[in-house]
Each structure stands twice: as structure tokens, then as C-alpha cells.
Amino acid sequence: KAGVTQTPRYLIKTRGQQVTLSCSPISGHRSVSWYQQTPGQGLQFLFEYFSETQRNKGNFPGRFSGRQFSNSRSEMNVSTLELGDSALYLCASSPIVNTEAFFGQGTRLTVV
């Protein structure tokens, strides 16, 4: 069974641009959640989706948004990028909510 796939693995963007990251969960998993990892703040929860509905959201500005498609694949979007958005963005999938969560390799975003 394939694991969680995140694309792209690396991304360099300029301040003010926007970016879209993609996550394909493990086949059959319906819950997808997103996290931001930085050296200063550690791992912080962004949002969680289940059956195309956002059910939980972390404490991030509205520039961070996401969605989930009917095949459970998910995307997250960050608009008007700031230098502080440079981070490793991790996606996790779970078969059902609040059980074991499996993470992808992450997307390393660098904002210059």
C-alpha cells in the first residue's frame, strides 16, 4: 500500500506570491490533516478535513486555506507569502478520525 504522498518536495517562492501544496492520502483514508513545522514553533496544526469538510482549524491567519476533494486528496494554499511562512509542511492521513495518523515526507517551502 502506498504511503502519504506530498508534492512538491521542495519549493522556493518570493514574498507576496501564493503557493499550493498537494497531499494524496493512503488509499481508503478519509481524514487528512496539515501541520507546519518550524525550528522556533515546532509542529503546529493547520486544519483537518474529512469527506471534503473542514472539521477543525488551528490558529493560523486566513492566508492559509485548504480543501479536500471527493477522492480524499487535499490541497493547502498560502496566499501573500511572508518570510515567516518558510517551513516544512506536513500532511497526515488517518483511516477514521482520531486514530493512527501517518505522515508524508513533507513539502519544504522557502520564501525569499
Partner 1 sequence: GEDVEQSLFLSVREGDSSVINCTYTDSSSTYLYWYKQEPGAGLQLLTYIFSNMDMKQDQRLTVLLNKKDKHLSLRIADTQTGDSAIYFCAEIPSGNTGKLIFGQGTTLQVKP
Chain residues binding partner 1 by CB under 8 A are 4, 6, 31, 33, 35, 42-43, 45, 48, 50, 55-56, 58, 90, 92, 94, 97-106
For partner 1, the closer of residues 23 and 111 by Cβ is: 23
What's the min distance (Å) between Cβ of 112 and partner 1? 20
Report helix, strand and coil shares of the chain as percent, to nearest 5: 5, 55, 45
> CB 80 → partner 1: shortest distance, Å?
25
Please, which residue, 16 or 95, has the CB nearer to partner 1?
Answer: 95
CA distances from 29 to 72, 99, 109 (A): 7, 11, 25
20 or 54, CB closer to partner 1?
54
Closest distance to partner 1 from the beta carbon of 42 (Å): 5
In angstroms, give the least distance from the CB of 59 to partner 1.
Answer: 11
